Structure 1
């Protein structure tokens, strides 16, 4: 397994010094040295003066290099270095002193240019054969049905392209450990397929470098590092993260030597910016990897990474679609007329099939409905109490339940993994999916639990990679991210269903209450009809008696009084009829009421009054009992006008109704020649004064010459229904209600 760790930056850095350093703190990106098969020039970014370098620069490039201008050494125009962010010298080839040809790669870093020079073969780079291989590889990856087949084909293709003895596809697991998921090899090395490697084999800073620098090559692990010089140039601790020639950690070199590896190459598999795994290439003898092959490997790794992402997304999509369809199938069987708990218990088999499991249970405070392999009833109730007391956001999942809930360690054969949904209903309910333990035998490349420190406390690279088997117990199959998300969605759906059920029950209760209220209103309406009918009959009977009495009376005054009484009773009866017809019981439109009252009075007063009556009425809603009083007053005024102004004959008569601020104004005026009766003492006059006084109003008379005008003003507050009294409104600009 190729795991690249680079040496530290201290002077004289060696294996003896490196082994005392914690792997995760080893400064592998600052080794102060390079691998000697190439050269390194370090120049000031502003002046392009070469400040230092590494490798046999004098013997392979030029003896006079320190202090010279970088552009002159490389024989390129100075203008190519003007924009430090976009310096590209990949097309440049430099001839060396011993007939070598170097490729050039430039890195801009803070205040320095780092220029790598690596010897290349004389043949043409990036041949059509390599382009064809890339195209065929992309097509083959596209046809792979799953991730495992992509990894197997990837190992085969990379071995064919690089020519290394063994190529491994190494995947990082969720816990940081690694596992070989693809392999292609010859007989030089043993198989490591499906072997696991501890997370400590590739420390954190090394993984970060694998993302930043996608391919790393060690042509020969027995090299002697070429330090950066001169030592007094102030270049110690320079960051060489982007430098391909960066020297490798002595611990890693010894690690590979212990594996029997002489040369290695590592190509990163990065999916969505995250290190998914590595293509690890091993060779038993020194082996360089030319620049064109490295470029092809970088491209092939990109193609493979995209296919890995596509396959993972496909698996995720298919699983998500299956879960969504299964969830919809379960909820479609729910009976909306039954409580949610009853629906859950009746669909227990469908719910169990939602997630792959060995047992399923619906648990409330006192009742358990279960199927499959599960702990006993007492243990389930205790587990239910523990889940309700926990702070899991309603969803709990574990593939090692004995670690999270200690009592579960006693029954892994019944429940080692758990996915639980807690529902905060009126009666709290838990849904449990249980998985039994899967006894696994894991093959490690060496004992992962063996302390790498000797008895003297010094950390050293692993010396044994013999297959070491470990039996894992207490674990179940892992719950996938899609299954956890589906559980969250199911919880939201079930809570929404319960809320809908509660709302449905409330609506049913409200509907019953409304129906009961409607029944009461219908009964009230019936009673009102009956009362109105009886009142109308009574008033009609009284009017008939008065009419008969008037016919039989021999005295004219008595006859007149009886007819006036008939008119007063007609006014009261009209209010009752309007009260029954109007939509708002107890409220009458005074304008419409006066219009109908005048119609009846004109009929009873005799021929000619319909043509002489002129109305201007403003619509206003008042209490029915107040309308009766106003109707009596208006009736009395009309009778007086007929009697005194026109001596019983028809004459011009004006009736007006208006609102002035906060008061109602009723006007009755005529054009008669008779002497007005302003201060009568009869029954009608006393009745009008009493009624006006009870309404807190005023009644005034004005002589018109000819004619008389009677004006009654009443405060609106005393006329409106108590519960519907609006704020007074200004109606001075409104048009009076027209009489058709």
Structure 2
């Protein structure tokens, strides 16, 4: 390892997965995946395993049925090996073996077995007791403290830290268990640059990593040509020189890290430090990985429980707000009534509502002019979405003037009412304790430019212009509040429209009542007039003395009765646009029976199918029926009573009106006034009329559409 290899500016681009070397405490064999012949290796293989390793059969070399192991691995759906219980014998020592397989190569890691591994029962019993202790932890902080003790007990390292990644990718030591003689890093922050991005990706892929000695000479892969071999899954993979210098600068001789992966993401790490060289056997690493998985599950459970409690608190306040919102109506009146509740709900220092240029405030808020300018900026963003920030001045520089009052902002535009709700959080000046100055990685010494930062002494940074962060639960509550305001606005708008509709309906009912009174009066007058004309015709018929004149007056009276009947139905039915044609014709026939006399009435037979027909067309059908019955009574039986059938049928969208008798049949071709009138009415209905021999008698059929 040489200092000239260090390039701090390229840390995030360093190909740490292809170092071309391993740590020298172990051995690595690389075999061809097809032939299982060893094609490359690293470490002191000749001295510690066998001089004749290159080209040897892998199974013979390690004394294992490699084909069976690969088949077993493939059957489990994994191409990455795990520690095998059987040890591999070297020339003077034994090795733990870990097998890895890819499409091209099979890689075998061999690490010295310095101590006998614990029995499975012992390991499982200890893991179970630790899982129980994790479950009993009251909160996340207590869980991390319990984990630090458990992992130090398992690994035996001098210092064990539970390290959590923050939103800005920096890290914070949540808990620590250490030798009292060592300096504490508890609550210290480490910059994101301490763990490059590609290293974080490997921490998700490989959950454990051990460096027994920070100062070593890498064992190069040989023969040449294997420098670019991917060693991502190899625990013996050589470490970046930058990281080794980092450890040296911290005074750490050996380290180990166990990943805490929650929901597939790197939540944090268990960082282990030893002041003297120390190995971490594969079986201990496997136990540590299992324990870390148990820890991750408990972290999820504790975070979900904390989020659930927060949601319950928010919902309880929401219930109060919703109750008042239902009675207050507009957003402005609601904010006036529940402003204090809204402010306390989201744990803010101030709350304001801006609508139509007016500012309504509760608690500590910027001046009205500053609030109006802020709202103008929010609206200029054009998204209409919620704005949530704990460092307002970084997004909106003018807020620097009032950062002590409003460093945090949660703004919620209400599109429906043209209003904006704003929650403010005051500046919270915090002191972050870093492990070394994160803004000054090196000194000005050219030699030091080639090294990572050299100091990890506590360095305190004062952070201004920031408030307490808005939690996801609080932002989620903001979205629910906006929906509630929208629903309240829609409900109030609906109630207003309903009130307007009720007022309009009431006015309409008055007009309809007035119209009904007027129409009844008109109907009464028309009926009186028709009755007077009918009575006059009856008197004229009696006084005429001429049979022909009397007959003509009787016909006129019958036609007048048809018109009067329709008029009465128009003002009697609720539905005046249409009538049941069968009922109408039945009543019309009843009137005609009274006009023609009881003898004729006894001879009439009705067969009427119910048909709904527009009123104006029904009037015309009634006139046609009246004319046909009058003709039958005059000509069918020589003026004497006889059988008459009146039938009404419906065929799809048409009606058929049938008037049939058993009399003398058609007696002539003369067309009188009544026939001409009837033909004109049939024409108005777009219908047709036909006569058939009824054997005996005459059958007249009028066909017409039900509607125009």
Normalised to the residue count of structure 1, the TM-score between the two structures is: 0.87
State whether structure 2 residue 425 is matched by structure 1 residue 431: no
| Equivalence for 1:29 | 17
Query: Displacement of 1:203 after TM fit?
Result: 0.7
2:3 maps to what in 1?
A: 15
TM-aligned CA deviation for residue 71 of structure 1: 1.0
Q: Which residue of 2 aligns with 1:217?
A: 210
- Distance of 2:510 and 2:477 partners within structure 1: 48
Corresponding residue for 1:52? 40
* Contact 1:362/1:430 (<8 A) preserved: yes
Contact 2:609/2:650 (<8 A) preserved = yes
The CA deviation at 1:581 is 3.2
User: How far apart are 1:397 and its partner, in Å?
Assistant: 0.7
Verify the 8 A CA contact 2:21 2:42 in the aligned structure 1.
Answer: yes
Distance in 1 of aligned mates of 2:402 and 2:101: 60
**Residue 261 of structure 1 aligns to a residue in which SS?**
coil
Instruction: Find the partner of 2:496 among 491, 501, 505.
Output: 505
Rate the CA distance shift 1:691–1:81 in 2: closer, same or farther, 3 A.
closer
Query: Equivalent residue for 1:539?
Result: 530
1:614 has 2:608 as partner: no
CA displacement 1:501-560 (0-9 Å, x = unmatched): 323333333343344334333333333322222222222233334444544555555554
| Contact 1:695/1:714, CA 8 A, preserved across alignment | no
The aligned counterpart of 1:108 is 101
User: In the alignment, which residue of structure 2 is the partner of 1:319?
Assistant: 310
Residue number among 185, 197, 201 corresponding to 1:204 in the alignment: 197
Question: Aligned residue for 2:171?
Answer: 178
How far 1:421 moved relative to its partner?
A: 0.2
Q: Which one of 137, 144, 150 corresponds to residue 144 of structure 1? A: 137
Say which of 3, 19, 28 aligns to 1:40.
28
Q: CA RMSD in A?
A: 3.0
- Taking the TM superposition and a 5 Å limit, the aligned residue runs for 1:153-552 are 153-230=146-223, 232=224, 234-335=225-326, 338-425=329-416, 427-452=417-442, 454=444, 456=446, 458-551=449-542
- Deviation, structure 1 residue 240: 1.5
- From the superposition, tell whether residues 555 and 364 of structure 1 become closer, same or farther in structure 2 (CA, over 3 Å): same
In the TM superposition, residue 591 of structure 1 has moved relative to its aligned partner by 3.7
Question: Aligned partners of 2:193 and 2:53: how far apart in 1?
Answer: 42
Distance in 2 (alpha carbons) for counterparts of 1:606 and 1:314: 94
Is 1:699–1:710's contact at 8 Å kept on the other side of the alignment?
no
8 Å contact 1:126–1:296 — kept in the other structure? no
Kindly state the Cα deviation for residue 376 of structure 1 after the two structures are TM-superposed.
0.4
8 A Cα contact 1:125 1:291, kept in partner? no
> Is this contact kept in 2: 1:264–1:280, CA < 8 A?
yes
Among 37, 55, 64, the alignment partner of 1:67 is: 55
Change (3 A) 1:454 1:631: same
Q: Counterparts of 1:156 and 1:352 in 2: how far apart (Å)? A: 41
Once the 2 structures are TM-superposed, how far is the Cα of residue 294 of structure 1 from its aligned partner? 2.4
Distance 2:137 2:686 in 1: 98
SS in 2 for 1:216: strand
Map 1:70-149 onto structure 2 (within 5 A). 70-77=58-65, 79-80=67-68, 83=71, 85=74, 90-98=84-92, 100-126=93-119, 128-149=121-142
- What's the secondary structure of 2:403's corresponding residue? coil
User: Match of 1:735?
Assistant: none
Q: What is the CA distance between 1:132 and its match in structure 2?
A: 3.5
Q: CA deviation at 1:564?
A: 3.9
Partners of 2:580 and 2:611 within 8 A in 1: yes
1:287 and 1:539, CA in 2 relative to 1: closer, same or farther beyond 3 A? same
Q: Provide the rounded CA distance (Å) in 2 between the counterparts of 1:327 and 1:550.
A: 88
Residue 738 of structure 1 is matched in structure 2 by none
* CA-to-aligned-CA distance 1:237-291 (integer Å, 9 cap, x gap): 2221211112222222221111111121111111111111111111111222233
CA distance in 2, matches of 1:636, 1:274: 94
| Native 8 Å contact 1:453 1:460 kept in 2 | no
Give the drift of 1:624: 4.4
Give the Cα–Cα distance (whole angstroms) in 1 for the partners of residues 496 and 37 of structure 2: 85
Partners of 1:173 and 1:359 in 2: CA distance: 27
Q: How far does the alpha carbon of each residue in 1:324-368 deviate from its partner, in whole angstroms, 9 at most, with x for none?
A: 332233112123573343223322112112201100011112211
CA distances 1:485-513 after superposition (whole Å, capped 9, x unpaired): 22122222322332233233333333433
The 8 Å contact of residues 41 and 52 in structure 1, kept in 2 or not, is answered as: yes
Partner of 1:5: none
Tell me how far apart the structure 2 counterparts of residues 142 and 113 of structure 1 sit (CA, whole Å).
40
CA distance in 2, matches of 1:581, 1:211: 86
CA displacement 1:609-668 (0-9 Å, x = unmatched): 233223444555555455555544544443444344444431223344557899866554
Distance in 2, Cα, partners of 1:360 & 1:209: 46
1:614 is paired with a residue of what secondary structure? strand
Structure 1 CA distance for aligned equivalents of residues 149 and 229 of structure 2: 38
Note if contact 2:29-2:109 (Cα within 8 Å) is conserved in structure 1: yes
- CA shift at 1:38, angstroms? 1.4
Deviations 1:32-90 (A, max 9, x none): 22222211111111112112222221221112212211111112235335537466661
Q: For residues 165 and 134 of structure 1, what CA distance do their matches in structure 2 show?
A: 21
Counterpart Cα distance in 2 of 1:353 and 1:606: 91
Query: How many corresponding residue pairs?
Result: 701
> Contact (CA 8 Å) 1:106, 1:113: kept in 2 or not?
yes
Report the Cα distance in structure 2 between the residues aligned to 1:157 and 1:698, rounded to whole angstroms: 104
Alpha-carbon offset, residue 473 of structure 1 = 0.6
CA distance in structure 1 between the partners assigned to 2:126 and 2:686 by the alignment: 108
Q: Distance in 1 between matches of 2:183 and 2:163?
A: 16
Q: Secondary structure at the match of 1:347?
A: helix
SS in 1 for 2:326: coil
- Mapped contact 2:326–2:488 kept (Cα < 8 A): no
User: Structure 2: where are the runs of 5+ without partners?
Assistant: none
Contact 1:21-1:459 at 8 Å conserved across structures: no
Deviations along 1:138-197, one digit per CA (max 9) or x if unpaired, are 111111111111111111222222222211111111101111110111233211111111
